[in-house]
Amino acid sequence: MKLSETEEKLMEYLWQKEKAFMKDLLEAYPDPKPATTTVATLLKRMIDKGFVAYREYGNSREYYPLVSKDDYFTKHVKGLIKNFFNNSVGQFASFFTQQSEMSTEELEELKKIIDDQLQQKQQ
């Protein structure tokens, strides 16, 4: 299941804070801040989708993520590779390196990351 763009933004704040009350989440937004009801609606949708849960303290709820940022990102990159690049990491890498206009330094850094991974796999 995927989050909408506005849900992802709210989730980003929750990942940063690790757990937060409504007032903490509202404070994380830049001005103009969304209405409390808007954030409450987003949280409800995210709870229904299984991304967020909460603990109740009297009338207050402390929200926390059920999905890590790494897990969410990994799933979506894998989906992108599957759906747009015929499940070919090579096609994805080719597109990424050609279309992102990477500098020589960035390509060298990427090459080093790949070389390090190859070395680890060979051990």
Q: What does the pLDDT profile of the chain (123 residues) look like in tens digits?
A: 789 999 999 999 999 999 999 999 999 999 999 999 999 999 999 999 999 999 999 999 999 999 999 999 998 888 889 988 888 888 888 888 888 888 889 888 988 998 888 888 888
DSSP calls for 7-64: HHHHHHHHHHHSSEEHHHHHHHSPSSPPPHHHHHHHHHHHHHTTSEEEEEETTEEEEE
Strand 52-57 relative to strand 60-65, pairing: antiparallel
Phi, psi of 100 (to 5 degrees): -85, 0
